[in-house]
Structure 1
Amino acid sequence: MFEKKQTDVYALGQHIAMSAHKARRVIDQIRGRSYEETLMILELMPYRACYPIFKLVYSAAANASYILGSNEANLIISKAEVNEGTPAKKLKPRARGRSYPIKRPTCHITITVKDMSLPEYVRKNFLEWSKKPKWKNKSKKPKWKNKYTDATYHDMYSNGGVWDKK
């Protein structure tokens, strides 16, 4: 009778050119805080990781207002995680024509915001009503769908094709 409604939205930033360890240092400070408090913290922290995380938090809030129609004042950072990405590989020229590999670390950051004002459960009937098609003839199919098409299956193994020769 009741169905769970989506109350959280995320934003994902991939291949951000910084170490995952340095980004986790900032992410641990904002996890579980409100959206407005998070923006103030990120503006005042002196780390380089704050700017891409700030952009992701802002993007997640924009996604929440577009998808859920929620207000930014009701959002909290429910989940924030940092994973290691593939390292960017370059070669640096060294003495006597040799090369030295350089691996620059990258990371993937996921910010999930949750709207605390939305109820967890809504009536299933309302959800079914909102998913119904909006055109007039709901029971009739379009005329082009009523045509029966017969597709014959041609198989080269059973019809004596290429593989029948000995």
Structure 2
Amino acid sequence: MSVQERRAVSARRESLLGDEPGAFAVARFVRVTPMKARRVVDLVRGMGVDDALATLKFAPQAAAATVYKVVDSAAANAEGTEHLSRADLVVVKAYVDEGPTLKRHRPRAQGRATRIDKRTSHITVVVGPRADEEPAKKADGKKAADKKGRTR
């Protein structure tokens, strides 16, 4: 299947990337709470892939190992399917959704029981090529707008 055909087929890719080049990876039903996973994902959002992997490798949080695998997988998907260079990839989007909660009970005093919620997460990472910003054009546009707005 060609890249164009695959893009037409995948609604998930369309919602995450649109027509832009890039790739994504998802880890579903990960046994880590979404709040703890979001702390780790917030560290790497917007970083280059190599920098993100280096950060995750030495992060003390337990969720860092899973996020490391997802970022690495997304980068491998971009290399394999989109033929993008790993050095130019950036973590464009990264977010954590809540998965199903496993409900367990713990015996307590006087015959009571309390519920223990074992939460799960769905971790999504989208990587894309580094966007080359051109500050000169933006600055020129601002200067032109300032000159038009001034009256003497």
TM-score, normalising length: structure 1 = 0.62
Q: Structure 1, residues 110-130: CA drift from partner, whole Å, max 9, x if none?
A: 00000238xxxxxxxxxxxxx
Q: Does 1:30 align with 2:30?
A: no
Structure 1 portions without partners, runs of 5+: 118-166
Q: Whole-Å Cα distance in 1 between the matches of residues 77 and 27 of structure 2?
A: 14
Q: 2:30 matched to which residue of 1?
A: 16
Q: How does 1:14-163 map to 2 (within 5 A)?
A: 14-94=28-108, 99-116=113-130
Q: CA deviation at 1:98?
A: 5.4
Q: Could you list the runs of 5+ residues in structure 2 that have no partner in the other structure?
A: 1-17, 132-152
User: Helix, strand or coil for the counterpart of 1:32?
Assistant: coil
SS of the counterpart of 1:112?
strand
Instruction: Decide which structure has greater helix share.
Output: 2
Looking at structure 2, the residues matched to 5 and 88 of structure 1 have their Cα atoms a distance apart, in angstroms, of 37
Letter in 2 for 1:43: K
Identity of aligned residues (%): 35
* Matched AA of 1:62: A
- How far residue 7 of structure 1 moved from its aligned partner, in angstroms, is 0.4
Question: Residue 63 of structure 1 aligns to a residue in which SS?
Answer: helix
CA deviation vs aligned residue, 1:103-160 (integer Å, no higher than 9, x gap): 111111100000238xxxxxxxxxxxxxxxxxxxxxxxxxxxxxxxxxxxxxxxxxxx
What is the aligned length?
114
